Amino acid sequence: MTTIYFSALLKQKKYLPFYNRLVKLFEDNNLNCKFVESTNDIWMRDFMSIKSTDGKYIQFDYHPIYLKKYPKYITGGSLIAKNLGIDTITTDIKLDGGNFICRNKIAIITSRIFKENPNYSEQELTDKIKNLPKLDKIIIIEEEQDTYGHSDGMVRFVDDNAVLINEYTKKHIKYKKVLTDVLEKENLKYIEIPSTDNMTNAIGLYINYLQFDDIIVLPVFNIDNDKKALELFKKIFKNYRILQIDCTEIAKAGGVLNCISWQL
């Protein structure tokens, strides 16, 4: 059974109600989780290594633009991995784990990587990123106008032929067309999931769910779309057990379940 890793910083007072719900959810469903000490923030997905298709672990350089003025929040993923008994292959390429959505040998990454790595040409950069985790293809989508530029808040694979995307309002219809044009060009069907226009936090971001083994943990925000999202996920992921957890506390900090988790 897969073990899911979270930062021990979730035990802080501001996240403690969520932490207690999370521990109970895992215990009640006989699932495995561990809490990692010595992280500088809770966003495990971003600073930890990415598993290659040949089983190796690639540690990208975690110095994102949005933390340039806040170096105290930067965690060295290689050291955390070493403490877990994992050897990593390091690279100078800057790439957050939250900007790497992968299924089999295809990854989806936003155009933020080009801003993060101006010393590389776009072709050189995508080729190198593709070669490190041994991928067949990288699909580049335009980033949204947010702080982080992560793909895990925009798109998730259902299977080899379909993805989930957020439901865009008329206000963002131009961006939706840019995104869906790329997906259609790559022969990927897309299913829209309820979302909000909220760009200040992650409340309403159901697409940032946690998926492992035959389990999907779907976030709840105590808003009207919670029920609609659950019904859709049950239809889409018929072979999965769908669990739910209130993620209000961490969503207010800017992320949800995929953001705070990491798995071997």
Mean pLDDT split into 10-residue runs, the chain, 264 residues:
96 98 98 96 97 94 96 95 94 97 96 97 96 96 90 96 93 91 98 85 96 97 96 97 98 96 93
Three-class DSSP category at 140: strand
pLDDT on residue 114? 98
pLDDT on residue 169? 82
| Residues in the chain, overall count | 264
pLDDT on residue 51? 94
pLDDT on residue 77? 94
pLDDT on residue 200? 78
Report how far apart, in Å, the C-alpha atoms of 2 and of each of 7, 18, 210, 215, 264 are: 17, 21, 12, 10, 7
- Report the C-alpha gap between 205 and 247 in whole angstroms: 10
Residues 6+ apart with CB under 8 A from 183: 141, 155, 163, 165, 189, 190
pTM of the model: 0.95
Degrees to nearest 5, angle at CA 147 with 142 and 151: 40
For 153, the token pair is: 């808040």
pLDDT on residue 264? 83
Beta partners for 140? 109
**Given 3-state DSSP classes, what are the helix, strand and coil percentages for the chain, each rounded to the nearest 5?**
35, 25, 40
pLDDT on residue 50? 96
pLDDT on residue 196? 81
Residue 197: Cβ-neighbour burial (10 angstroms; 0-12, 13-18, 19+): exposed
Give the pairing of strands 3-7 and 101-103.
unpaired
